[in-house]
Amino acid sequence: MNVSEILRLALDSLKANKLRSGLTMLGIAVGVFSVIGVMTVITGLRGSIESGLNVLGANSFQFSKYPAINFSDPRQRFANRRDIDYNQAARFKELMADSAQVSLMLRRGGRVAIYADRRTNPNVILGGADENFITARNFEIAAGRNLGPDDVEFGRAVVLLGDELTKKLFLNESPLGRMVRIDGQAYTVVGLLAPKGSSFGQSQDNFAVTPITQFLETYGRAGRSISINVQSANQAELTATMETSVGTMRLVRGLDPEDPNDFEIFSNDTLIESFNNIAGVVAVGAFVISAIALLASGVGVMNIMLVSVTERTKEIGIRKSIGAKKKNILSQFLIEAVVLSLVGGLAGIAVGVIGGNVVAGMLNATAIFPWGWAIAGMVVCSGIGIVFGYYPAWKAASLDPIEALRYE
């Protein structure tokens, strides 16, 4: 007896008991829906949070005094570190100039930007940076020019405007060449940045960037710690660059060999990783809880297969007495169970993906199709069919044909 015939037999018996098969499939579908739905929501949420964490440019990492994400350690632990001051940062940039692109960055929030009679709310961020800022932070120039090395060298009072700021201050005229005032200092607008959208509900476009030398001139050098962004030429050199720059950083900070690093280093990957540490636990918990329904539906499959075996005892007896082997009977019932689970599973995946994305949409997460989970769902369904179908199938296969024929 070949596979197609076994398959036909299995399908026939499923069709013969439509209500029963339908209910069993519904059980499986609900179980799969529970897992796929929950995992879709969680994957969607994770995806949108991760993309929000992509703040740095490609192949880059950043040095700073404070860690980027900190849930456990008190802030004071880091506050006692020395600031990364401009001399150290400039020396670092000089030393690393050959091997990577280095960008220095300072920022100060809560500024008011003024142009003519228009002024913003006191929530503008003014950054002090250099010519590499654009690539380091994943921005693009929409109009005008970037900051140049000479702007930084001479500390010129020029500024790049973020998109939101541009829209607030300038209605019907080109901002290029105009003067914007922030904290009493006038800056000439030389470039406009393309919009980048928001991250965690926080706009990334409501800011202005001026040369870091100009920033230090205006606001003073004391009590400021510079963030240093290092961007390697390509992915392959990233690790080497990171090692070199940690060494260089220790050098400019004047650390002895036995001292621990007194600075933090992070990249997009470490940001995402530290977030994933938490998200992973949540995902595993959610998976376990949602898989309970799947377990219950597996029990349902087993039960109905047992009924099916009992009902068809006579049929099994006849098939065995005319020469069917144990193997044939086993595979017949196994395939029946697997088909039952797979059809239910497919329905469950479809509903789960739709439902999950609807919920994810309500939570403002990106819509996704969780291929991994869908495939895992199909595998698990077949697994359920095999595991929970095995005992009834085995029971059927090991029936004594004489006893079975006599069964009433």
Partner 1 sequence: MRRLYYELTESLRIAFAQIRANKLRSALTALGVIIGIVAVTLMGTAIKGIDAGVDRSFSGFGDDLLYVSKWPWSNVDDWWNYRNRRPIRHEYARQINEWIATNPDSPLKLAVPTGERFTTIVRGQYRLNNIYTLGTTADYSRITRSDLKEGRFFTDAEGQVGANICFIGFDVADALFPNESPLGKTIRIRDQNFTVIGVAAKQGSFLGLFSWDSMVAMPLTTYRRYYRVGEDGEIRVQVDGTRMAEAREELQGLMRRLRTLGPEKRDDFTINEQGTIRAQLDPIKNGVALAGLFITGLALFVGAIGIMNITYVSVKERTKEIGTRKALGARRRTILLQFLIEAVAICFVGGVAGLVLAAVLTSVVGAVAPSFPLVFSTSLVVTGLAVSVFTGIFSGFAPAWAASKLDPVVALRYE
* Interacting residues with partner 1 (CB under 8 A): 19-20, 23-24, 26-27, 30-31, 33-34, 38, 74, 76-77, 286, 289-290, 292-293, 295-297, 299-300, 302-304, 306-307, 311
Q: Report in angstroms how near the CB of residue 309 gets to partner 1 at its nearest.
A: 11
Q: Report in angstroms how near the CB of residue 163 gets to partner 1 at its nearest.
A: 24
Q: Report in angstroms how near the CB of residue 199 gets to partner 1 at its nearest.
A: 20
CA–CA dist 345, 380 (Å, integer)? 9
Q: Report in angstroms how near the CB of residue 405 gets to partner 1 at its nearest.
A: 18
Q: Report in angstroms how near the CB of residue 182 gets to partner 1 at its nearest.
A: 20
The set of residues, in sequence order, having a beta carbon less than 8 Å from that of 267 and lying 6+ positions away, is 56, 60, 61, 62
CA–CA dist 157, 218 (Å, integer)? 10
Q: Report in angstroms how near the CB of residue 87 gets to partner 1 at its nearest.
A: 30
- State both tokens at 275: 């977030």
Q: Report in angstroms how near the CB of residue 303 gets to partner 1 at its nearest.
A: 4
CA–CA dist 242, 240 (Å, integer)? 5
Quick one: 211 or 344, whose CB is closer to partner 1? 344
Q: Report in angstroms how near the CB of residue 283 gets to partner 1 at its nearest.
A: 14
Quick one: 74 or 220, whose CB is closer to partner 1? 74
Q: Which residues pair with 50 in a beta bridge?
A: none
For residue 253, the number of C-alpha atoms closer than 13 Å in the C-beta half-sphere is 24
Distances in Å between the Cα of 29 and the Cα atoms of 22, 71, 166 are: 10, 40, 52
Quick one: 97 or 295, whose CB is closer to partner 1? 295
> Quick check: 161 and 124 in contact, CB under 8 A?
no
Angle between the N-to-C axes of helices 326-362 and 268-311, in degrees from 0 to 180, rounded to the nearest 10 = 140
Q: Report in angstroms how near the CB of residue 77 gets to partner 1 at its nearest.
A: 8
Amino acid at 158: V
Quick one: 34 or 206, whose CB is closer to partner 1? 34
Quick one: 293 or 368, whose CB is closer to partner 1? 293
Quick one: 27 or 191, whose CB is closer to partner 1? 27
Beta strands in 272-374 (DSSP E): none
Q: Give the DSSP H/E element, type plus range, for residue 293.
A: helix 268-311
CA–CA dist 371, 39 (Å, integer)? 11
- State both tokens at 228: 């240093």
Quick one: 238 or 316, whose CB is closer to partner 1? 316
Which residue is associated with the tokens 């400021």? 224
Q: Which among 47, 57, 46, 368 has a CA at the least distance from the CA of 196?
A: 57
* Strand pairing report for 158-161 and 185-193: parallel
Which residue is associated with the tokens 């401009």? 86
CA–CA dist 193, 138 (Å, integer)? 11
Quick one: 72 or 235, whose CB is closer to partner 1? 72
Beta strands in 116-250 (DSSP E): 118-119, 124-129, 141-144, 158-161, 179-182, 185-193, 198-199, 202-203, 207-211, 227-231
Quick one: 136 or 309, whose CB is closer to partner 1? 309
Q: Report in angstroms how near the CB of residue 20 gets to partner 1 at its nearest.
A: 6
Quick one: 146 or 206, whose CB is closer to partner 1? 206
